[in-house]
Amino acid sequence: MEHSELSVQKILDGSKCKIVLSGEIDIYTSQRFKNELNEAVKTCNDDLYIDCKELTYIDSTGLGILVGALKEVRKENNHIYICNLKDNIKKLFLITGLDKLFKIE
C-alpha cells in the first residue's frame, strides 16, 4: 500500500505566521502534521495562517488536530485563518460546521 505524502512549510513574515500545506493529511501523516502545527502555535504569538492551496485531502484526524490548535491559539485571543481551500475540503468544513470556528479565506 502506498503511503500518503505531506509537506509542511513554515514561513515567518515579520509577525505573520504562515504554514503552507501540500499533499494529504491522514492516518499516515497526521502525527507529523500535529507536531509541526503545535510547534508553530508555540512559536507564533499572533494569528496563524494555514495555506491549503496544495492540500488535496484531510480526514477527521487532521480536522481534530486543527481544532486542538485553535483552542491553543484562542487562549492568546488569536485566530487561525484557513486559506485557499479546494472545493472538496471546503465542503468538509461546511458539513462539519468548522467554517464557523475557523476564519476561512
Could you tell me which CATH class the domain 6-104 is placed in?
A: alpha beta
- Sequence spans of domains, the chain: 6-104
Helix (H) or strand (E) holding 67: helix 60-74
25-49 pLDDT, tens digit each: 999 999 999 999 999 999 888 999 9
Position with higher pLDDT, 15 vs 22: 22
For 53-70, what is the mean pLDDT? Answer: 97
For 38-63, what is the mean pLDDT? Answer: 94
Residue type, 81: Y
Task: Tell me the pLDDT of the chain averaged across its residues.
Answer: 93
Q: What stretches of 1-105 show up as alpha helix (H) in DSSP?
A: 30-43, 60-74, 87-96
Based on its alpha-carbon atoms, the radius of gyration of the chain, rounded to whole angstroms, reads 13
Whether 8 shows a pLDDT value over 80: the answer reads yes
C-alpha cell at 46: 499572533
80-92 pLDDT, tens digit each: 999 999 999 999 9
CA distance 11 to 30: 20
